[in-house]
Every structure is written in structure tokens, then in C-alpha cells.
Structure 1
Amino acid sequence: MPKTSILSPTRRAMIGGALATWPVPVLAQRAPVITLLGDSITAGFGLPASAALPAQLQAELRRLGSKALIRGAGVSGDTTAGGLARVDFSVQRDTDLCLVALGGNDLLQGLDPKRTQANLEKIVARLKARNISVVLAGLQPPPVIGRAYAQEFRAVFQTVAKTQRVALYPNLLAGVAQVPSLNQSDGFHPNARGVTVIAKALAPVLVKALKA
């Protein structure tokens, strides 16, 4: 004999309606991850971790209301070749946006800008192939660098950003380079105050890139 429901049609309709309106739990959305692939500037050379760029940039993002998480992947002394060699494991798979901030050591070592450009193009291409958005940070050579070399080096970042179709942040050290009060005694690495200037200028750019 087939079983019959002990609920009346009216009762079944009431329960069905209640279930249809029962609140469905919403899974917490994962906070986006921003990785800083760079050299001593992003690694915080000469500074405690709390004053380095990853920490100060994280604080600035919070001030702007962003829930993004900053992950530092800077290695002091790294060139673009070094960044290319480690990009696949330094930029983890959960990264949504990568700031590529390399090239300063290429400049200091007087490396061929064509090599720097080729390395940056490969880095960006690998990140894009992994569906990771990119912001490329450029550098402005100091006045002591020969004019012809400086112009060729400066153009590298513009060319890579254009050919790879990624956002360009023209000068990572804008407002800090050549300002003694914002740099350490070596005149090249920013001090804590200098890092604050960089973080305040860079944070809105990264927030915009995440939204894009």
C-alpha cells in the first residue's frame, strides 16, 4: 500500500512557502590579493617590517576602505632577470593583481635596456596567462645617468605597458627620489617617511586597478 502524507494540502503549502523564503547563508567573499613583485624598495631594505612598503600600503588601503590584502614578494638586489626567474612561484596562484616593480637594479648595473624590456614583457605575459591583472611600476633615472641611456631606459616601461596592455604607474619613487629627508643615508632607498609618500600615492592606483 502506498504511503500517504499526514499533512493536509494547506499545511504542505504553508511549509513550502516558508522554505522558499528561508534565508540562504551567504559565503564570505574572499578578499582580493595584491602581490608586490619587486626588489629592495618593495622588500623594505633598511626598515622594520612595520615601516616597509607592504605594511604601509596595507594600512593605506584600509584607510581607503579596501579589503584587499597586500603580499610582499620583494627581493633586495633583484633585477628583472631575477624577477623573471621566480615570478611563477613568488606570485602565488590566489593573486588577483600584481604590482611589477623591477628595473632599478638593471639601471644601477647599466644593463642593456633591451634586456630589461624583454624580461619585463615575459614577466607580464606570464602573469596575464594566469589571469592575474598587472600594474607596471616605472622608474625615472636620476640626473647623474647619461641622457641617452636615461631616455632609452625610461621608455622601456612605457613600451611594455603599451604592448602588453597593462596599467602603468610611471614612477614608483615619485615625490621621494632625490629628496634627502625622505631617503636613507644611501640616498636611494626611502626611509619610513618616504615609504609613506609612496604608499599614499600608489594605493588609489591599485584600488582602481582592482575595480577595473
Structure 2
Amino acid sequence: MREHRGQLGVMIRMTLWLALCSLLSTGVAHASDERPVIFAFGDSLTAGYNLPEGLGYAPQLEDALRREGIAATVIDGGLNGDTTSAGRERLTYVLDGMDEMPGLVLLELGGNDVLRAIDPAITRANLAAMIEELQRRNLDVLLIGMRAPQNYDPDYVKAFDAIYPALAARYGIPLYPFFLEGLIGVEGTVMPDGIHPTYKGIKIMVSGTKSAVIDALRD
């Protein structure tokens, strides 16, 4: 029974990969410097978990950029529940399914590693491998950081929080330090599960990351 459930899980994940690849292959056909394509590759925080269509991070960021006069297309590459290990596993499949590469990749993973208390060394290695793969394809990367909750073991917090600035320095890429900046403790920004942002929370995340995204597009 466990083997059957495991096989079913693999089949479901592969189906999601293929569906996302199909969507991406049609979404970037007209990419250009004047109309940049941004690929938000992450987990439920970029996927707009439990929000109506069009209200997640990717569409809200696209709207915000267009209000700034940037005719960008922001593709949602988030998958609910993804750890850095799962993201590393699917990254090449998704990229290979694109007809044209994006001008900028927002790499946002790690939150689910924290929830599962995964060894920070594993998280670091997975993120490093994804950055290297993106750079191998000559894709610009903006690393979106996460932080461990302060009620975790202090050694874990220290090790995890050091991952993102260290990788940004190592690979010479820009960093937005904390994707959930401005949400912690602010009423109405997080769903009752205490994890996922509401529409209001997404607006704060977009407002916080917008300048970093624009700077990364111009570099």
C-alpha cells in the first residue's frame, strides 16, 4: 500500500510538471527586452495558495510593474508544498519546456524546508545547484530569501538565515532578504493557517519586492 501511494504521488507530481511546462511554453512566445518575461519559481507563496485566480503574487507583481511602465509578463512557477529538493528536481523539466527563456528568474524556495526542519546544509546545496543551473543557461537570478521562526533552535535559525546572503555573495546575484517582510504580526496579512499570505499580504510582498525586481531587470 505504501509503495502504491508513493507511485501515485510521483505520477501526480509528474502530471503537474507537464501541465506547467505546457503552460510555460505558450506564455513566453513573444519575450523581448521591451517586454521582459519574469519567471517566479517557488512554492505556495508564489503560487497564490487559496487565493482566487489573478490575486496571487505573480499576477499582482505583473500589474504593479505595468503601472510603473514596464510591460512585463510574470509567469507563476510556484508549486504548493515544494521544498528545495523538489524544486531542484523539477527545475530542468520546467526550463526545458519553455520555448524561450525568461529574462529574469525569481528563485523563492526554502519555506517548506523550515516547516519540515530540513538540515540547512541540504537547503543550501539545493539552492546552490539551482542557481548554478540557471547561470549555466545565462539566466539572471533574483534570490528571494526566507528566515526561520525565532522560536526554533537558535543554532538552526543561525544556520538557515545565513544561507541566502551567503549564496547571493558567492554567485554574485541580487538578494531580497525576506519574502514575508512586513507581514509578521500585521493583522489581515496571513490566512488562518498562520503561514500563507492573504490578498493584503501579497500586496505588501509585491510592494516590497518590486524595486528589487526592477533593479534586477535593469542590471
- TM-score (norm. length: structure 1): 0.84
Could you tell me which amino acid in structure 1 is paired with residue 130 of structure 2? Answer: I
Q: Give per-residue Cα distances to partners, 1:76-114, cap 9 Å, x unaligned.
A: 000001111111232434211000000000011000100
Matched, 1:155 2:171: no
Secondary structure at the residue paired with 1:182? Answer: coil
Secondary structure at the residue paired with 1:181? Answer: coil
Structure 1 residue runs without a partner (length 5+) = 1-27
User: For the Cα contact (< 8 Å) 1:37–1:90, is it kept in 2?
Assistant: no
Determine the structure 2 residue equivalent to 1:59: 63
Determine the structure 1 residue equivalent to 2:111: 104
Determine the structure 1 residue equivalent to 2:149: 142
Structure 2 residue runs without a partner (length 5+) = 1-31
User: Please, which moves more after superposition, 93-102 or 173-182?
Assistant: 173-182
User: For the Cα contact (< 8 Å) 1:135–1:166, is it kept in 2?
Assistant: yes
Could you tell me which amino acid in structure 2 is paired with residue 36 of structure 1? Answer: A
Determine the structure 2 residue equivalent to 1:84: 88
Report deviation, 1:145.
Answer: 1.6
User: For the Cα contact (< 8 Å) 2:34–2:71, is it kept in 1?
Assistant: no
Could you tell me which amino acid in structure 2 is paired with residue 72 of structure 1? Answer: D
Determine the structure 2 residue equivalent to 1:23: none
Distance 1:146 1:179, change over 3 A: farther
Determine the structure 2 residue equivalent to 1:6: none
- TM-score (norm. length: structure 2): 0.81
Determine the structure 2 residue equivalent to 1:191: 198
In percent, how many aligned pairs have the same letter? 34
Structure 1 or 2, whichever has the larger Rg, is 1
Report deviation, 1:30.
Answer: 5.4
Distance 1:97 1:185, change over 3 A: same
Q: 2:36 aligns with which of 29, 32, 37?
A: 32
Report deviation, 1:179.
Answer: 2.6
Q: Give per-residue Cα distances to partners, 1:28-70, cap 9 Å, x unaligned.
A: 8651110000000000001012211111111110111111210
Distance 1:67 1:180, change over 3 A: same
Displacement over 4 Å in runs of 4+ = none
Distance 1:165 1:29, change over 3 A: closer
